[in-house]
Structure 1
Amino acid sequence: MIALTPIGSQSVRPQLLLYPLGVWALMAVVAVLNGGFREVVLIPRVGEYPGHVLSTAMLVLAILGISFGYFQWTAVEYTQVELLLVGVLWTVFTVGFEFLVGYVENTPVSVTLGQYNVFAGQVWIAVPLTLLVSPLLFGWYLS
């Protein structure tokens, strides 16, 4: 049984956040490779929108697998607040990376923001949401 303690009563050990940052770097490499696979293989075969959906689903599964593997493998016992912080960091770094790439490629901010518009059929929001919740999910589940 998972015992939940008040988050305010937990402290954060900043040195333990370095390991998950390395995990995020691995996820970033996987995301870039996934994007290349989407452009070279998926979109020519299934089209733009189905390729986007398939690629997003593949990335979500990869993130879940990497996160599960990390929290199963690590000897570190993270507090709930640390797990929440890991998820927030992974999410902020990913969204920041998306906007940085958009800036470097001279992509208008409105186009980058449009990737998060679920009302326009965009499913990319599943990636940052997965990054946010997977540390909590697997950190609690595997502890």
Structure 2
Amino acid sequence: MLNITLKAFVIWLGILILAILNGVIREAILIPEIGKNAGFILSGILLSTCILLVTYFTLPWIGKRSVTTYIFIGIGWLCITLLFEFSFGLAQGNSWLQLFEAYTFKDGNIWPIVMIVIAVAPYLSAKIRS
């Protein structure tokens, strides 16, 4: 079980790197070029697509597992993503109100949908692969 957990964590780290790059691209290119609302929406779609592709292509590394395992991996990814988001935000001096604002669909932000995607990506990818 530790092997699966470690592999799932390594995959999540890859997703984290892509998410950070996505944020840099959103702030440096998308929002200045197409505006805040469209930039957030496109950024969310791009990140969700990256999450699904990474999960789909790395799933064989985890190996064929039970549906329950894929569900636990998705829930684990969701939990560590939320832990990372809130810890990083608080460390930057953001208030709880500012942190929760990302979950309100304000200004085109579709972060709650991205969170759903990260939670279901392992199960969905396994379903597509089988």
Would you call these one fold, judging by a TM-score over 0.5?
Answer: yes
Paired position in structure 2 for 1:66: 54
Contact 2:103 2:111 in 1 (8 A): yes
Contact 2:77 2:119 in 1 (8 A): yes
Once the two structures are aligned, what percentage of the paired residues are identical?
A: 25
Between the aligned partners of 1:14 and 1:89, the Cα distance in structure 2 is 13
Paired position in structure 2 for 1:84: 71
Which of 19, 29, 37 is the matching residue for 2:17?
Answer: 29
4+ aligned runs moved over 2 Å, structure 1: 118-122
TM-score of the superposed pair, with normalisation by structure 2: 0.92
Q: What RMSD, in angstroms, separates the aligned Cα atoms of the two structures?
A: 1.6
SS in 1 for 2:13: helix
More helix by share: 2
Which structure 2 residues correspond to residues 54-133 of structure 1 after superposition, within 5 A?
A: 54-71=42-59, 73-74=60-61, 76-118=63-105, 122-133=109-120
Structure 2 spans left out of the alignment, 5+ residues: none
Paired position in structure 2 for 1:15: 3
Contact 2:47 2:114 in 1 (8 A): yes
How many equivalent residue pairs?
A: 130
Structure 1, 118-127 or 89-98: larger mean CA deviation: 118-127
Deviation at 1:142, TM superposition (A): 1.7
Larger Rg: 1
TM-score of the superposed pair, with normalisation by structure 1: 0.84
Deviation at 1:16, TM superposition (A): 1.4
Structure 1 spans left out of the alignment, 5+ residues: 1-12
